């Protein structure tokens, strides 16, 4: 289907750490089979924690794909400089993986909730009841995106990002109380638009 629709990029799998560790040869075989029927670019979406650093078949793909929910701060309501500093330890590891395989890095997912603790454990989902127990902070979401773009966008080995998540059902009214990842109708939306409109250099 990806070949017939001339899809530019195909992801061969997402966060399948157990299989990656126990059956690496199966993934190499799978990638070879995909290459026979699809001539677009390939990636795999590896979790940020204890997965992307251990994959041995990045050289068989076009992009190193990472679900980039890296913990960046330890406190709620962080300022921009604190979030930026939180990226430094991750950047060194990311660059080392890039150099090892000579492949660009693509964030196959990155996102932040509209909560004060969004940069502490970015991977955590809220529940239906979160709106009754958690506080809202569009500013933390906004600063998290700004810091991520500032640290990543102009890295020569960085290929781009996929936002988690863009919710089409969000309305201007619902965005006023929404705590979830969607940046639609929130200040973070303007940050994303600004950086997407700025060519990397």
The tens digit of pLDDT for each residue in 172-185 reads 999 999 999 999 99
Q: What is the radius of gyration, based on Cα positions, of the chain?
A: 18
Q: Which domains are delineated in the chain?
A: 11-196 (3.20.20.80)
Strands 158-163 and 9-14 come out as unpaired
Q: Mind listing the pLDDT tens digit for each residue in 4-59? A: 999 999 999 999 999 988 898 999 999 999 999 999 999 999 999 989 988 989 99
* Contacts for 46 with CB less than 8 Å, ≥ 6 apart: 15, 17, 20, 52, 55, 64, 65, 66, 67
Q: What angle do CA 193, 198, 199 make, to 5 degrees?
A: 135
Peptide bond into 147 cis (omega under 30): no
Question: Per residue in 122-159, pLDDT tens?
Answer: 998 765 555 556 799 999 999 999 999 999 999 999 99
pTM of the model: 0.91
pLDDT of residue 126: 65
């Amino acid at each position: 289907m990806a070949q017939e629709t001339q899809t530019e990029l195909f992801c061969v799998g997402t966060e399948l750490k157990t299989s990656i560790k126990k059956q690496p040869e199966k993934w190499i075989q799978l990638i070879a089979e995909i290459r026979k029927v699809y001539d677009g670019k390939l990636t795999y979406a590896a979790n940020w924690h204890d997965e992307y650093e251990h994959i041995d078949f990045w050289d068989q793909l076009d992009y190193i794909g990472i679900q980039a929910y890296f913990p960046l701060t330890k406190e709620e309501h962080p300022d921009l400089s604190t979030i930026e500093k939180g990226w430094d330890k991750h950047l060194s590891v990311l660059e080392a993986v890039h150099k090892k395989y000579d492949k660009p890095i693509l964030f196959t997912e990155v996102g932040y909730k509209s909560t004060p603790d969004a940069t502490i454990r970015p991977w955590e989902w809220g529940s239906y009841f979160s709106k009754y127990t958690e506080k809202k902070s569009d500013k933390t979401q906004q600063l998290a995106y700004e810091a991520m773009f500032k640290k990543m966008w102009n890295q020569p080995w960085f290929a781009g990002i996929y936002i988690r998540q863009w919710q089409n059902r969000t309305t201007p009214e619902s965005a006023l109380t929404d705590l979830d990842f969607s940046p639609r109708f929130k200040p973070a939306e303007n940050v994303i638009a600004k950086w997407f409109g700025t060519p990397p250099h």
